[in-house]
């Protein structure tokens, strides 16, 4: 009986400590922190690191020149052009980034951020952080996508980074 009681008491702790890499919830409402975007429902949780000085000016996996001062990120599998709202739960700071490179190649990490993005969520000094990254889709409008675009297709045309990333760099509204 004591073992059963202990098991029941420890179950929530074990469940809370388990790491979920991706959770699907389905499309959500528009993201107030980043106007013009709607949450896709896909949430990634895991380690983040940043890269910059040694890569500045080099070509990224999608052919762009890497800019340490741009709000960009590397992810192993998300399509190029995917937007992510990356939150550092330690300080509730969030940054909007666009995937334009591949990586990280270190076990346990889900995303590499540019220097500027890492600085925006205060992870430069530490070098790494556990983050929550929400995949965002642009809302269709005259400036971004044609109204007939199917937002469930991640390969749909995405707006240029400058149009969106310049609007809101950091949000402290939480995740």
pLDDT of 94 higher than 80: yes
Instruction: Indicate the DSSP class of residue 56.
Output: T
Q: Are 106 and 99 in contact (CB under 8 A)?
A: no
Question: What DSSP assignment string belongs to 71-130?
Answer: -EEE-SSSPTT-EEEEEETTTTEEEEEEEEE----STTEEEEEEHHHHHHTT-TTTSEEE
Who's near 171: CB < 8 A, 6+ residues apart? 33, 34, 85, 93, 94, 95, 96
Identify the structural domains of the chain with CATH numbers, from first to last. Answer: 19-171 (2.40.40.10)
Helix (H, G, I), strand (E, B) or coil at 37: strand
Q: What's the pLDDT score for residue 70?
A: 95
Q: What's the pLDDT score for residue 119?
A: 96
pLDDT, one tens digit per residue, over 55-86 is 888 899 999 999 999 999 999 999 999 999 99
pLDDT of 163 higher than 80: no
pLDDT of 173 higher than 70: no
> Hey, what's the torsion of the CAs at 32, 34, 35, 38, to 10 degrees?
-80
pLDDT, one tens digit per residue, over 3-53 is 555 444 444 433 333 333 333 333 444 456 778 888 888 999 999 999 978
């Amino acid at each position: 009986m004591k073992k059963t009681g202990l098991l029941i008491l420890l179950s929530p702790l074990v469940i809370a400590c388990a790491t979920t890499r991706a959770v699907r919830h389905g499309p959500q409402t528009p993201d107030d922190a980043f106007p013009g975007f709607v949450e896709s429902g896909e949430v990634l949780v895991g380690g983040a690191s940043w890269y910059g000085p040694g890569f500045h000016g080099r070509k990224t996996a999608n052919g762009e020149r890497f800019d340490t001062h741009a709000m960009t990120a590397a992810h192993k599998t998300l399509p190029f052009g995917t937007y992510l709202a990356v939150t550092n739960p330690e300080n509730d700071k969030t940054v909007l980034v666009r995937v334009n490179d591949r990586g990280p190649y270190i076990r346990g990490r889900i995303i590499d951020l540019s220097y500027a993005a890492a600085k925006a969520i205060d992870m430069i000094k530490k070098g790494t952080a556990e983050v929550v990254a929400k995949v965002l889709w642009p809302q269709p409008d005259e400036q971004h996508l044609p109204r007939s675009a199917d937002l469930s297709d991640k390969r749909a045309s995405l707006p240029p980074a400058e149009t969106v990333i310049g609007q809101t760099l950091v949000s402290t509204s939480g995740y």
